[in-house]
Chains A and B, each alone.
Chain A
Amino acid sequence: MTADDAETPREVFGPIDASALRTIRDLIVDLEPLVESATLDDPLNPRTLSVGLADGVGAASTARLDVRWSLQGNYAAHYTDDADRNFRFDCHPKPEAPRRHFHPPPDAPSRPVEPSCISVSEVALVTRAVVQQWRIAYKRGGFDGLNDAENPP
């Protein structure tokens, strides 16, 4: 493969999959008792699913999870709370970074990123994994170990 091929990936993120967003919305509402609202930003042209949470990690009192999912199975799940902390579990081609990567708290900067602890691919599994990691941070009241795949039961 030539350097040229490497620099021009077939897709960067890809078009958002409206049907996937609706599936994720219904699943998160089922899984997470703290969900207060779960809405698509535009019913006709949805790009982001926003899930409002009634509490946040540690000092935060509310939080939001913004989810995007593309036809190619790329995704971004972005946590943000009213204490201004952010993190993101992502999966998409990114130069000099693993496809599955984690933007760490508190700022979730574009770079540097870490390899993500989430290795599953299906909508049903990624959604459950994101909810589970958020739950762990919520119960602990902090972000330590948020990107660890292995957790004490």
Chain B
Amino acid sequence: MTPENRPDRLCPDGGTENVNEAVAAEWVDDTTPFERVYEVLRRRYDPESAAEIAARARVSATTARKHLRTLVDSGEATTAQEGQTTLYRRSETAIVTEHAQALLDEQTPEQIATGIAEMKARIREWRKEYDVDSPEAFARELAVVDADSDHGAVLTEWQTTRRNLALAEAALAIGEASRSGHLSGSDTDSDTSARA
């Protein structure tokens, strides 16, 4: 029923085009199988089988398995075993590395440190205002069920800030370790003299 993956999908019979089918065909046209498997893996925080990832990425299970093995070898993916089935998700290291790179490209260490202090202050304010320790306790106590409500928005913001705080702290540590030169063995004079 779906026409071939041509960039100009014409419907000479005057039929209609389904948006969900059209965007899937476009994605397949615009990307390689590896790119799609990698993109799907990058959003997997809960482990999934190669077959599930293959269906999402519009590739065969064999292709998905091959690319997932490459991603495990490069540290992007991590695996868990469920009976006979291998489950894949994005590794924490990859999550932290990507976020740190994005932050360190745009922000100075001082700006990151200031941002960390602000996020900590935000979290302290929520704890005080609602008299609970965590966003989970907040959701329970206030029976938050609708993301479209005001309390739903606070819940999302609190959970988001907590995660971004952890990522910013990791980014700052990576930035400091990189600048020291110890990681690559290119230790600078200024560093040794600072220690002396």
Q: A residues engaging B (CB < 8 A)?
A: 7-9, 12-20, 22-23, 42-47, 68, 70-74, 76, 90, 92-95, 110, 117-125, 128-129, 132-133, 149-153
Complex interface: chain B residues within 8 A of A46 (CB): 164
Cβ distance A144 to chain B, nearest Cβ, rounded Å: 15
Residues of the A chain whose Cβ atoms lie less than 8 Å from the Cβ of B32: none
Partner of B103, one of A44, A47, A125: A44
**B80 in contact (CB, < 8 A):** no
- CB-CB nearest in chain A for B155: A12
B102 near A7 (CB under 8 angstroms)?
no
Q: How far is the CA of A118 from the CA of B19 in the complex (A)?
A: 8
- Beyond A15-B163, A18-B167, is A117–B19 a contact (Cβ under 8 Å)? yes
Main secondary structure of the interface of B (DSSP, over half): helix
Given A128-B23, A132-B22, decide whether A153 and B147 contact each other with a Cβ distance below 8 A: no
A40 vs chain B, min Cβ distance (A): 10
By beta carbon, the residue of chain B nearest A123 is B43
Chain A residues closer than 8 Å to B168, beta-carbon distance: 44-45
* B59 interfacial by beta-carbon distance below 8 Å: no
Residues of B contacting A7 in the complex (Cβ-Cβ under 8 angstroms): 143, 145
Binds A, one of B10-18, B62-70, B126-134, B177-185: B10-18
Say yes or no: A43 contacts B103, CB within 8 Å. Answer: yes
B139 contacts which of A12, A22, A95, A118 (Cβ < 8 Å)?
Answer: A12
Q: Is the Cβ of A8 less than 8 Å from the Cβ of B145? A: yes
Most chain B CB within a 10 A radius of its CB, from A7, A15, A23, A42: A15
Least Cβ distance of A148 to chain B in Å? 8
Whether B156 lies near A12 (C-beta < 8 A) is yes
Pairwise interchain contact A47-B106, C-beta atoms closer than 8 A: no
Given contacts A18-B167, A23-B42, A125-B24, 15 further A-B contacts (CB under 8 A): A12-B155, A15-B156, A16-B160, A44-B103, A44-B111, A73-B43, A90-B148, A93-B145, A117-B19, A118-B19, A122-B56, A123-B43, A129-B23, A132-B19, A150-B16
